[in-house]
Amino acid sequence: MTGETVEMASGAAGTRAFGPAGSAGLPRVLPPSPVRDLRGHEARHGRPGLRGTALISEVERAGLTGRGGAAYPTGKKLRSVRERAGLRGSVVIANGMESEPASAKDALLLAQAPHLVLDGIALAAEAASARSAYLCVRRPVQADALAAAIAERDGYDPVPVQLALVPERYVASAESSLVRYLNGGPALPGFTPPRPFERGVRARPTLVSNVETLANLALVSRHGAGWFRSVGTASAPGSALVTVSGAARHPGVYEIAYGTPVRDMLALAGGGGEIGGVQAVLAGGYFGNWLPGGAALDTPAAPDALRAAGASFGAGIFLVLPASGCGLAETARVVRYLAGQSAGQCGPCLNGLPAIADALEEVAFGAGGSRGGHGRALRWLRDLFGLVEGRGACHLPDGVARLAASALRVFADDVRRHERGPCLAARGRPVFAIPSGPARVAEARG
């Protein structure tokens, strides 16, 4: 994430909350103002309640799912790790990496409510029979602030939290990357199986959970499943932190009830309001899919509903494309960035992603004309999607292929128009911020 994005997330808009009529109690996870010390945290939340196996059962009843992008049931994950822990115990990893450049929610949460996350780590460690717990971040300034919060809890938690400053790279936030790094290797994805919950750090069962998920775990411990389900929908209960940027007057992090219409969520940030309205939304961030404007914006902001609409919720990232923008050009720039973030470990990433970027740039920016380059690029793109999907060590090739395919589908009219050459918007200033500079390969530690 760029420094510009972090500043965006810390502004006044960062703590606003929204939910459908009757959904009281928001914000839940983000405090109205920062609560950075332990005494203030306990004054706001009190001490945790349910623990151990009782907490696992309550989390299962609550329907809490992961907030890092996969939306996997948290209770099921906890129980699986506990059942495998045995006499050696397990390991808990709190994932605060937030390598997606368009996301700012985890950084804001760790800055404004660090002890809520640390409570969640302690509760998860106890429930999963863990002997070790780590909090992984990627910025020294984050690590310094969190080290102070951890020091304040000396003797407070049965399993002390160890901070890990992990090299900054898009793929470094993958579960297998964090396990590999904590085992002394590079912060790059490893081939699976085994998965971390089966065999992770020091060959022990390992729970990897996003920091927002763990903050919600701490709240379920205190307030229970019924309270958690009092907002959201039956299939997607609770609240979620979302980052809205792109063509938005007030970009930032917002806490919403799951199920809030995308249109209403974007209105909080002034999405498209000053630039001719919303043409489309890149839902799920750079690893997501395009959602067209118009009636599709009435889709509930929840993983299942967005999936059914051909988009994704992911880690709660929504980038607004105005009516004056070019979705093909924005996608091509994102895909080129992602191709540069490859771990370089396998063919689909090393060869496939640059080839997809080349072909998509031809479609978006090519000169057009009679030589047929546009048509050849489209045919090659569709062949490449099938060649890379499901064949990498991680899901980066799959995500890039899905993103590019969704752009061809949602912007089909533009694809035809671009056969004559790029539109004016494609030649103009980008709407989405793309990190600059060469990709950095994470090095193994000695």
Please provide the DSSP assignment of 112-133 as one string.
H-HHHHHHHHHHHHHHTTEEEE
Is 315 in the same domain as 331? no
Tell me, yes or no, whether 217 and 278 share the same domain: no
Instruction: Evaluate whether 35 touches 199 at the Cβ level (below 8 Å).
Output: no
Residues 305 and 403 in one domain: no
Q: What is the mean pLDDT of residues 260-283?
A: 86
The two tokens of residue 405 are: 């395919």
> What is the mean pLDDT of the segment spanning 314-319?
96
Mean pLDDT of 346-351: 84
What CATH number does residue 102 fall under? Answer: 3.40.50.11540
Across the range 220-230, mean pLDDT stands at 97
Contact between residue 187 and residue 181 where contact means Cβ atoms under 8 Å apart: yes
User: In total, how many domains does the chain have?
Assistant: 3
Q: Is the pLDDT of residue 370 over 50?
A: no
Res 410 pLDDT > 90: yes
Please check whether residues 255 and 274 belong to one and the same domain. Answer: yes
The CATH number of the domain holding residue 248 is: 3.10.20.600
Q: What's 385's domain CATH number?
A: 1.20.1440.230
Higher pLDDT, 11 or 297: 297
- The residue from 194, 228, 262 where one domain ends is 228
Select from 288, 304, 322 the last residue of a domain: 322
Give residues with Cβ within 8 angstroms of 415, minimum separation 6.
Answer: 328, 363, 378, 408
pLDDT at 319 > cutoff 90: yes
Structure tokens at 234: 């039956």
Q: What pLDDT is stored for residue 235 in this prediction?
A: 95
- Please check whether residues 162 and 46 belong to one and the same domain: yes
Beta strand 278-283 pairing with 252-257: unpaired
Residue 16: band (very low, low, confident or very high) from pLDDT cuts 50, 70, 90: low
More confident of the two residues 183 and 438: 183
**Tell me, what amino acid is at 434?**
I
Q: Per-residue confidence at 348, pLDDT binned at 50, 70, 90?
A: confident
Mean pLDDT of the 101-115 span: 97
In this structure, are 111 and 179 located in the same domain? yes
DSSP string, 381-436: HHHHHHHHTT-SSSSHHHHHHHHHHHHHHHTHHHHHHGGG---HHHHS--SS----
Residue 368: the pLDDT is 59
386 compared with 134, residue with greater pLDDT: 134
**Rounded to the nearest 5°, which phi and psi values hold at 163?**
-80, 140
**Residue-level pLDDT at 439:** 42
- Type of residue at 259: G
Q: Which amino acid, 103?
A: S
User: Token pair 């091509």 is at which residue?
Assistant: 332
Q: Note whether residue 12 is domain-resident.
A: no
More confident residue, 280 or 16: 280
Q: Is residue 338 part of a domain?
A: yes
Do residues 84 and 201 share a domain?
A: yes
Shared-domain flag, residues 300 and 362: no
Give per-residue pLDDT as tens, 161-174. Answer: 999 999 988 899 99
CA dihedral 115, 118, 123, 128 (to 10 degrees): 170
The β-bridge partners of 134 are 93, 162
Contacts of 250 (CB under 8 A, 6+ apart): 11, 13, 268, 269, 270
Do 263 and 222 have their domain in common?
A: no
Task: Write down the pLDDT at residue 56.
Answer: 98
Q: Residue 369 — φ and ψ, nearest 5°?
A: 105, -165
Contacts with 326 (C-beta within 8 Å, 6 or more apart), sequence order? 364, 414, 422, 423, 425, 426, 428
| pLDDT class of 276 with cuts at 50, 70, 90 | low
Q: Return the beta strands (E) in 258-361 as ranges.
A: 278-283, 289-292, 317-322
Residue type, 316: G
pLDDT at position 12, please? Answer: 34
Percentage of residues in the chain with pLDDT exceeding 70?
90
Same domain, 292 and 334: no
Residue 439 falls inside a structural domain:
no
Tokens at residue 247, please?
A: 């063509």
> 141 is in which domain, residue-wise?
28-228
pLDDT of residue 445: 33
**Once rounded to an integer, what is the mean pLDDT over residues 2-11?**
35
Q: What is the pLDDT of residue 389?
A: 84
In this prediction, residues 10-23 reach a mean pLDDT of 42
Q: Tell me, what's the pLDDT at 350?
A: 86
Is residue 400, in this structure, part of any structural domain at all?
A: yes
Q: How does pLDDT run across 58-100, given as a tens digit for each residue?
A: 999 999 999 999 899 999 999 999 999 999 999 999 999 999 9
- Greatest extent of the chain over all pairs of C-alpha atoms, in Å: 73
Helix axes 140-152 and 105-112, enclosed angle (nearest 10)? 40
387 assigned to some structural domain: yes
The per-residue pLDDT for 371 is 57
Q: 0.85 cut: is pTM over it?
A: yes
| Same domain, yes or no: 96 and 155 | yes
Domain shared by 342 and 222, yes or no: no
Q: Where are the alpha helices (DSSP H) in 287-411?
A: 303-308, 327-340, 347, 353-365, 373-388, 396-410
For residue 315, pLDDT over 80 is answered with: yes
- Positive or negative: CA dihedral 100, 245, 242, 236: negative
Q: Which of 273, 306, 322 is the last residue of a domain?
A: 322
Assigned token pair, 80: 């699986």
Is 172 a domain residue?
yes
Confirm whether 166 is domain-assigned: yes
Residue at 269 is within a domain: yes
User: Would you state the pLDDT for residue 202?
Assistant: 96
